[in-house]
Amino acid sequence: MSHDHLELAEKYQKELVAAGLLIQTDVAGVYGRSGVFEQVLEAFDHFVSKQGQAYAPEVMRFSPVLARANYLKTTHIESFPDLIGSIHSFYGKEKEHLEMLRKVQELEAWTDDLGPTELMMTPAICYPLYPTAKNTILKEDGRLVDLMGFAFRHEPSVDPARMQTFRMHEFVRMGTAEQALGHRDFWLKKGEEIYQSLGINAKPALANDPFFGRGGRAMVVSQREQELKYELVVPIASEEKPTAIASSNYHLDHFSQPFNIKLQNGETAHTACFGFGLERSTLAMFKTFGFDVKTWPTETKKLLEI
């Protein structure tokens, strides 16, 4: 990320905090949200839900935590170790507790006295879905699932669009390769239409995930060559580097294989998802229309029912 982009991102962050829309905390990338911010975010989320209802999805909501055992069945720890959120707790007795308190008071490494729980922070909100479908055979028309929830990525930044905890609204397809790829392409177009209807000029762009390390560079090339990931981008911090406010991903059998999700013919299913970034979409609207919702375009307010 360029120095100029970071400067512009930090400037916009300070404007959002000064306007009372975001509430600064002591940790970079972690914010409180004002009532107005939440009103817009929830209105957008409701609007997205209504767009998806026409396709009769199953609706599911999961906690922002994931079983460690299921997390380890994915390749997330290989691809994104720098983004991991692992939940730990205290397992000792009274003597160990007193020693830990001494370390806290002496500013020593008290977290060494904690041990891992059975939970990880959810890195993407479709992750908890796949274990619920393990060892199943999909119907001929597959499954379409509507998800919404918080994800966590350890990615502290001054960019208000790069939060450590954020919400996504996703539509996930499990089925044949053709069904999954069709879902990815359909929602990429549908998502663009949704944003355009609100007056947000989001445009599709071929993208890649931030894979870690030397091996990750090869995965970036592979992902881009296979055109597995597209994003809808719009300028938020800067025109030079537009921000992804939604993404459309074709996973091949990456998630179905470890959880043994099959098709009627016995082959491993494929999956795809389209996710709207709720905080990022909200930030894009404030950037486009200004901080005073009352002055927003009439059509935008009518569609969002605000």
| Residue 193 shares a structural domain with residue 295 | yes
**Is 100 in the same domain as 235?**
no
Check whether residue 7 and residue 100 sit in a common domain: no
Shared domain for 112 and 157, answered yes or no, is no
CATH number, domain of 193, equals 3.30.930.10
pLDDT at position 226 is 72
pLDDT at 234: 96
Residues 240-287: tens digit of each pLDDT: 889 999 999 999 999 999 999 999 999 999 999 999 999 999 999 999
pLDDT value, residue 225? 63
Confidence at residue 291, expressed as pLDDT on a 0 to 100 scale: 97
Same domain membership, residue 258 and residue 137 = yes
All residue ranges of the chain with pLDDT < 50 are none
The domain tally of the chain equals 2
Residues 80 and 95 in one domain: no
106/27 same-domain check: no
Whether residues 25 and 140 fall in one domain: yes
- Residues 227 and 78 placed together within one structural domain of the fold: yes
pLDDT given at position 207: 82
What 3 state SS string does the chain have? Answer: CCHHHHHHHHHHHHHHHHCCCEEECCCCCCEEECHHHHHHHHHHHHHHHHHHHCCCCEEECCCCEEEHHHHCCCCHHHHCHHHCCEEEEECCCHHHHHHHHHHHHCCCCHHHHEEEEEEEECCCCCCCHHHHCCCCECCCCCEEEEEEEEEECCCCCCCCCCCCEEEEEEEEEEECHHHHHHHHHHHHHHHHHHHHHHCCCCEEEECCCCCCHHHHHHHHHHHHHCCCEEEEEECCCCCCCCEEEEEEEEEECCCCCCCCCECCCCCECEEEEEEEEHHHHHHHHHHHHCCCHHHCCHHHHHHHCC
Domain that holds residue 167: 3-85+123-304
Instruction: Judge if 101 and 229 occupy the same domain.
Output: no
Same domain, 73 and 103: no
pLDDT at position 216, please? 64
pLDDT attached to residue 213: 73
Q: Do residues 177 and 266 share a domain?
A: yes
